[in-house]
Every structure is written in structure tokens, then in C-alpha cells.
Structure 1
Amino acid sequence: MARAEAEIAGFGGQILQKQDLPGLGLAISAADIGALMTLPILRARLQRKGIGVTVDRNAIYQPAGTGRSYVRTMIGLPETAACPLQHPVRIGVIDGPVDLAGLRASNVSVVARSVLDADDEPGDRDHATSLAKVIAAASHRGGLPGIAPGARLYMAEAFARNGSKDEMRLDTMVAALGWLVSERVELINLSLAGPRNRVLARAMQAAAARGAILVAAAGNDGRDEVAFPAADPNVISVTAVDARKRRYRSANIGSEIDLAAPGVDILIPGPGEATYRSGTSYAAAVVSGLIARELARNPLKQDEILNRLSDRAEDLGRPGRDSEFGWGLVRGGGC
């Protein structure tokens, strides 16, 4: 990394930020090369000099979601019985800031940490707070329990406000991954979407190599292409279906889809009135909750988890795995 930084500085580039990520066994630097050199030329230059680093743009990621009490019944859990986990499971969520008081009112055990820069304006709290309730709410007014009550959530607050949108830079996302792995989370939920990126792929590969199971939303662009990071081979990719088991109209499709889960009109409890949310974000949160239930029974690896869920899945669409529903609708196996 030091050689790469020296090379960039040597042709006039500026090193903006450096971080060690001991949880991943990596380091990351952000650099501004302006119009001095194109990205392909920089990669080739570093490779030619034997400098073994992964280089890509500091890409932008956005929330992959923009509620209904059918969810638990649809996936094979009792409608109202909480069915708490037999043993605590640590779940990481990379998203925006959270309403800690609201989560604690829903009996969610949560640790939150911001990985934003000091001058970043934190993003909206709604998306991350809703995901946390879908995954782990134990009891609340006006809604049903989450999928995995008793899980301990580690919320990495990485979305910042940019004008009218919430955005996550690559460097903050990788920093969030590093923190979560250092906290020994067993599972990481990525309800976000953006472009393919080599640095993020490298970081996720490192997280997976350290035993973290990665779950991501397929994205809501209505395209014949699964969004990144869900398209990465180290990730379990999740699409959304409605109460009639139809694919969410805005969900992306592609060969990387692994599983489908409820994600249309998902009931999200207060503190005030309950609201409804739709998107592959929430389907990914449902699958994360089900995986936590599996991990509470047995310490399984990602391929073992996927095999269990795909074997139990209800086949939708064309027979076998397909690009709309993957292996089909996830099923929970009861309390």
C-alpha cells in the first residue's frame, strides 16, 4: 500500500484518507487522481511495477428499499408467537443511522457505531431502523415479532445525506465491513445496491474468508441484472415477492438470484402508527433473520446454510433454480 501511495503521489495524485482494517486483514486508501490518469491506466501502471493492490472508484451505494403481517405465516413461522432464538446470534447490518429508542422499545438488542467522516451529515433513520425491526423485533405495538427475536444487532451507520438522497461511499462501506468482522458477527445484511466494484469485492471476500455470511438485496431497478453486492459470488442474493408469491415488480432479475422472500407491503411497527414498506431490502432482512435461526441451532458455513434454505424453499416460476426467484420462496422450519 505504501508503494501504491508513493506512486500516486509521484504523478501528482493526492492521498485523501488511509485506514487499517485489522478485522479484514486489509488496508484501504482513498486518493484523488483528478484528470491526471484514467483508472485502467493506473491499474496497468501499478501492475507493471509489481504493486499488488486492488484499485477501483470510490463508488456510491444507495438503500435497496424505498410492510403486511403475512410474512411470518408465509415463511412457516407462527403468526404471533415470538419464537426467540435458542442461542444469541450476532448480526451485522450496514445501513444508515438508527432510532435506538425505537429499537429498544421493540426489545431489540443493538450496538450502533457510525463509520462516517466528522463532516458527513448522517442519512435518514427510517430504512435501517425498519430493517432492524424486521430482523429482530421481539415485541412491539401494532405489529408482529421479527424473524429472529433475541439476535444481537450490530448496526454500522454508513449512509450519509447528499442533497435529497442517502448515499454510502465505498470507503465507509469497507470500513463498516471491517468493524463488523472485528466484532465477530456471524452474519452481515447488505440491503443496499450499486455498481460492481473490485475493492468491495476484495473486502467481501476477506469477510467471507473470516467466516461472515453475507446476505444482500438484488436491487429495485427493474433490470435484467442483479445489483452489486448481491451479484458477488461470496453473497447470498435475495429477491422480493408479495403475498401472492409474485415477484416484486421493481426487483432486478439475473442468474445470481439465490432465494426469494416476502418484501412487498411489509408491516413496520411505530413508535407511532405502523407503516408499510416494499423492496428487496426487506426481503434480504427476512432471509437474514431465517439464517440467524439456523445459526442459533448449529454453527454452519455459508454454503451449508444456502443448501439448507434452498432444499426447503418452495419452488416458484420455472422448475428448479431460475433468474426470477432463485431456488424459490424461503421456508423457516417453525420455532
Structure 2
Amino acid sequence: MAFGIDDASPAFAVAVIDGPYDQAALSNVLARAPLRLAGGSCDTSPKGACDHGTFIMGVLGARPDAPVPGLCPSGRLLHLPLFADTNAAFAGVTGLAAAIAQAADAGARLINLSLAIMDEGAAINRRLAAALDFAHTRGCILVAAAGNQGRPTSGQLLTHPAVIPVVAVDALQRLLPDSNFGPALARRGVAALGQMPGYAPGGGLTTMSGTSVATAVATGMLAQLWSARRNLDAATLRSALARLGPRDGAVPPILNRAIVAAALDRATPATIPAARGAETAPTAPKSSHVSLQGATSMEYGNGRPFPVEASGMIAPPAAPAVTPAGCSCGGGQADDESALSGFVYAIGTVDAVYPNLAIEREMLALSKALRIPFPARRAPNIAPTEDRLWQHAVLSADRKLTRYLARQLRWRLTIEELPVFVLQPNDAGFYDDLIDALNRPLHEAPPAPTPPPPARGRQRAGRKARETASEIARDIEATRSPLGPVEDLDVVVGALGPRTADGTVVAIDQLFQTTPALLAPASLIGLPQLADNHGLTDGERACNFLAARCRLGLPVKSGYNLSGARVMPSRLGAGFGRIVRVIFTYSNASGAIEEHFVRVDVTHEFPMIVSELQPYLERGERT
């Protein structure tokens, strides 16, 4: 039997499955008293679950004139306290399934799930699957937290067609370090502000961050949009969310109210394309319990209002991710972060770094047990345990024995000796590829010219003539240039992850080595300079793909040299994906130029050539 909400009620129903909330603290804050669909209350000394539940209820239901205005004060909140008031609150997946079914049966249009399923197993939880299917058939949308483990994730809950997963970003739209991410979330989820003030048990204000907060922000914005358009169904709203983009990386687009509202205002169910994968049956694993996901950073304030307007919590999205006309392939990090594709195609050098002194000492102890000496020659500024060839010798001596150390090392990709990415293998097999990448020594610069021997003739008394072969060899060694950096030949393809203090995380999907001959063919002298970039934008990825994988064989006329390259969007990509043109410019001493171009499809993680090299005809697109 449904719980007391009349279908004719003007209030838009939003269910909150969370911890209990402090009714006394929110009695003068909430615009409407929530309808409680289950028992549960805060402890006499409120703990983590009460902190969490109070905060989420206040974020959604506070009056417009409250110190921190609520995001959907006109809606009717349905409260289901799933978690008991403990600091490490958790509940069973079966209990979550029952709460979802109860909320859907009570008439909720949106269900806020500021929680995550932990301890993933190997099978689908059938009760949760049935509850999600029931909510789907009742026209509900569930808004669920991605989780705060800072890793790629998926799961039965987050991949169900009725669920909109939410990742957390800061005010600058950067993924919070603790927020989960991943391609499965990017295809159908949204990103929302994950740091904001709210209400605490006992009165006063507090701040909280995490995907729980982002989920409440997303639920509030969707409630505003949907409650103003009661004739729309859940499928239409989900389809409108699919207009947000791009959705081909590891992080979903920012939830922007204006873009979704515009799509809804001109939409019917037949005119908006469904999100990719939106109707895919869940295939993710079972989990053993459910955990709240909002207490990653929670501090009690001094009770003063925060200067925050809830209606402006989400910044507008930046420009579409298209490389501007005339943009060079190189140039390092993209100036406009909105141009990031969500994928990485970078050329650099793989390095292994010790995260702490204990791991370095363990590596040294293992080398002694395996009787692996240090190399005779290495760069003067490199410690013995940091020598690449020595690291490779230790880690590859017995890979079954040393695999635990390979997992403990911090693997990085440096570009022109600058550490840029932290490499996160998606598969254990990648550790062998990472170890093998160390088996490339530092450059040995060509020796300096040997000084001519002293003129023969009368020698001063006591001075010996340096004629022996050993002395000449010693002279050559003394004038030899020091070892230089390793050549950037390691190619990393993967999904862009969160930023950390050590660099931006890349979830590796492919790792291989290119060759100097392929990277710098005779017809493209200077191409390696074009690959000196982070490989994050469409243009950078296209240039790096061409440098690492393709023999273009440009027709070079006598006297012409490569003088530049630029990337421009292709008209052929409109409506189908993202296709760019990489245009190579050759010039001679008199200033005459020849241009050729190739089209590259960069819509997906692995680029591909869609039209072969051909002469470029200027069509007034240079500006």
C-alpha cells in the first residue's frame, strides 16, 4: 500500500534514503515537514549517520530565506532512515532494496542516494535488481553517489537504467581527489558541486564535501527542473541529460541547469536521443553492504551564514571540447580545460619512483638477495637505487617474486623530463609492460672531439710523451659528454582520472613503445616537437597518434622543409563525432608553402585515420 501521498498533491515528491536527521535542529529551517516512511532517530549524542542525514535533508529542503537555502524547498521530502546513528554507518544491500521499493511505491519521482555499495562481489543482488526495476517502471529517477574511494568504479547500482550516477567536483569544476570516476559513470552520469555548507545536528552550520554532497546538489537541481514541467516523464528527463557532454572520458559532464532546461523546453520523448548505454541491463557485481559517502571533509562552523547562493552553486559549462582553428599540436597543457577529451594519448618516458624510504630499502634488500649489482655507469645525479637499468634487473629477475614491489612503486610518465601523469594499471598484466619500459638506458651523448696530440719535437725535461693507447683512451673518456635523458618513446593510452599531488592519474588501457625512426621519419623532421604535449585535447591526441603509429610518407619537394602543423575541426564530424584535420605545412627559402592534411577521428579513446593524406586546399578557415 502506498504511504499517504495523493497523486493529485501539488508537491513534487523527493525521497531521501540516508541516516536519521535532527528534527529539532531543522524544525525552523525546513520549508515543509518531511514525511517519514520508516522509523529511526538520532542518538542523544549525534554521530556520523545523524550528521550525514541532517546535512542532506537541509541541503534539499531548507527555506529560501534560511542561512543556507535549500535546493528544492517547494518539494515534499520523503525520509527513509536506512542507517542507524553510528560513526561508521553501514546497512545491508537488502535493506537498501526495500527502501528503494518503498520510496517508489510512495510516489517519489526522485530518490536521493548519497551512499555507495561497498565490497563488490561477483554476482548481482537479485533483490536490489528487482527494486531498481520496480522504481524504473514507476517512473522514478534515482540519483546515486559515485563513492569516495578515488578510483574507477562501476557497479550494479550505478549502471542501472533508472540511476543517474554523480561524481563530485570543486568550484573550478575539477574532480575532487576522493571522488570515484570511470567511463561507465561518464556515459550516463553527471558531475556536481561536492563542497558546500549545510546544517549540523544541534543547530549551527557545518561544511561537508564528497559525492554525497554532489548527489544532493544534483537531486535538488533535477527536482527544480522536473517540478516545473510535471507533464514530462523520467525517460524524457534522462534523455535531456544526455545532451550534456562530452561523455567519452572518465568524468561525466557538469550538470548545468540552463542546458537541461533548454532541452526539456523543446523536447518530446521522440526528439531527444537517449544516453549511450542508458537502457543497458545491469551487469555489475554484487556487494555486501551500503555506506554513506559524505563525510570525507566535515568541520563544524561558528554558526554564521555562509555567503553562498544555492541557485548558483553550479557554474556554467565551458565551451565544447573542440581544438580551435589554427591551434598547434604542441604547446604542453591545454590552456582551456574544457577542451580536454577525457582520454589521454601521450608520448613520454615511464619512470618508477619510490613512494617512501621503506619501499626503496625493500628494493635494495631484494637486490642483495638476488645478487644484482649496480650498473658500472649511470648519470652523476642519479642515485644507485634510482637507476632504470638496475630497477629493471631487480624487478625482472623473478617477476612472481618481485610483483609485490612493482605494485608498491609509483609509476609515472614524464614528458621532456617533467613528471606529468601517475599511471594506474587497469590490469595486472600492465606491470610487466611497465617493468619492461625501464629497460631503456639514458642517452649517451656523442663524445666531444678528441684534442690533437701535442706536436712532436723536443720535450721539456721531466715531461713524458703521452703515446700509449691507455693514456689516449683515458683522454677520450675524460672528454666524453655525460649521460643525458631517456628518449621519450613510451606511449600511454588511457582514461583521464583525478588530479593528485604527484600528478594527474591515468587509468592505462594500452602501453607500448614507438621507435625513433617512426617518431621522426625523414619526411617529418621536427615531428617529435609536435608530440611534446600532454596528449589530453583532441588536437594533441591526433598529433601523438600520428607520431607514434603512422608512416605518413609526405611527398616532400626538393628544398621544402616541415615548418609547422596545426589542427582544425573537420566539417565531416558534425553530428557524427569528433573528427579533426592535422595540416602539415612545408616551406622553402623563398617563402613558398605546400600543405597536406590527414583526417583523424578522435571521438573515442583510440584514434583512427578516416581519410588518407591529401593536399590541403585553403577554404578561408584559417581564422
Q: What is the TM-score of this pair, normalised by structure 1?
A: 0.64
The answer to whether the 8 A contact 1:226-1:252 is kept is no
Residue 272 in structure 1 maps to residue 195 in structure 2:
no
The answer to whether the 8 A contact 1:208-1:234 is kept is yes
Q: Could you say which residue in structure 1 is the equivalent of 2:250?
A: 324
The answer to whether the 8 A contact 1:97-1:114 is kept is no
Report how many aligned residue pairs link the two structures: 237
Which is further off, 131-140 or 87-96? 131-140
Q: Could you say which residue in structure 1 is the equivalent of 2:537?
A: none
- Offset of residue 227 of structure 1: 5.2
Q: Could you say which residue in structure 2 is the equivalent of 1:137?
A: 62
Aligned to 1:214, the other structure's residue is in SS state: strand
Equivalence map 1:281-292=2 (5 Å):
281-292=212-223
Equivalence map 1:142-291=2 (5 Å):
143-160=67-84, 164-194=87-117, 195=120, 197-226=125-154, 229-257=157-185, 258-264=189-195, 266-270=196-200, 272-291=203-222
Amino acid at match of 1:131: I
Aligned to 2:108, the other structure's residue is in SS state: coil
Q: Could you say which residue in structure 2 is the equivalent of 1:303?
A: 235
Q: What is the CA–CA distance in structure 2 between the aligned matches of 1:97 and 1:322, rounded to whole Å?
A: 38
Q: 1:281 to 1:94 in 2, by over 3 A?
A: same
Q: What is the TM-score of this pair, normalised by structure 2?
A: 0.36
- Offset of residue 282 of structure 1: 1.0
Deviations 1:248-307 (A, max 9, x none): 11111122321100012x111356332110011111111111111122122323332123
- Report percent identity of matched pairs: 32
Q: What is the CA–CA distance in structure 1 between the aligned matches of 2:149 and 2:36, rounded to whole Å?
A: 29
Deviations 1:18-50 (A, max 9, x none): xxxx66xxxxxxxxxxxxxxxxxxxxxxxxxxx
Aligned to 2:183, the other structure's residue is in SS state: coil
Q: Could you say which residue in structure 2 is the equivalent of 1:76?
A: none
Deviations 1:166-207 (A, max 9, x none): 111123222212321221111111111114633212211111
Q: Which has the higher contact order (CA 8 A, sep 6+)?
A: 1
The answer to whether the 8 A contact 2:14-2:109 is kept is yes
Q: 1:274 to 1:220 in 2, by over 3 A?
A: same
The answer to whether the 8 A contact 2:179-2:211 is kept is yes
Q: What is the CA–CA distance in structure 2 between the aligned matches of 1:226 and 1:280, rounded to whole Å?
A: 14
Q: What is the CA–CA distance in structure 2 between the aligned matches of 1:263 and 1:242, rounded to whole Å?
A: 6
Amino acid at match of 1:101: A
Aligned to 2:218, the other structure's residue is in SS state: helix
Which of the two has higher C-alpha Rg? 2
Deviations 1:145-167 (A, max 9, x none): 121121110010111256x5111
Q: 1:269 to 1:161 in 2, by over 3 A?
A: closer
Deviations 1:181-237 (A, max 9, x none): 221111111111114633212211111111111110111111111355223332111
Q: Could you say which residue in structure 1 is the equivalent of 2:321?
A: none
Q: What is the CA–CA distance in structure 2 between the aligned matches of 1:228 and 1:129, rounded to whole Å?
A: 27
Q: What is the CA–CA distance in structure 1 between the aligned matches of 2:94 and 2:229, rounded to whole Å?
A: 33
Q: What is the CA–CA distance in structure 2 between the aligned matches of 1:181 and 1:260, rounded to whole Å?
A: 24
Q: What is the CA–CA distance in structure 2 between the aligned matches of 1:168 and 1:308, rounded to whole Å?
A: 33
The answer to whether the 8 A contact 2:170-2:176 is kept is yes
Q: What is the CA–CA distance in structure 2 between the aligned matches of 1:321 and 1:303, rounded to whole Å?
A: 18
Q: 1:249 to 1:88 in 2, by over 3 A?
A: same
- Offset of residue 105 of structure 1: 1.4
Equivalence map 1:41-52=2 (5 Å):
none
Q: What is the CA–CA distance in structure 1 between the aligned matches of 2:65 and 2:56, rounded to whole Å?
A: 15
Amino acid at match of 2:149: D
Q: Could you say which residue in structure 1 is the equivalent of 2:450?
A: none
Amino acid at match of 1:308: A
Q: 1:248 to 1:286 in 2, by over 3 A?
A: same
Amino acid at match of 2:241: L
Structure 1 unaligned residues grouped into runs of 5+: 1-21, 24-86
Aligned to 2:104, the other structure's residue is in SS state: helix
Q: 1:279 to 1:123 in 2, by over 3 A?
A: closer
Question: RMSD of the TM alignment (CA)?
Answer: 2.6
- Offset of residue 129 of structure 1: 1.6
Q: 1:226 to 1:197 in 2, by over 3 A?
A: same
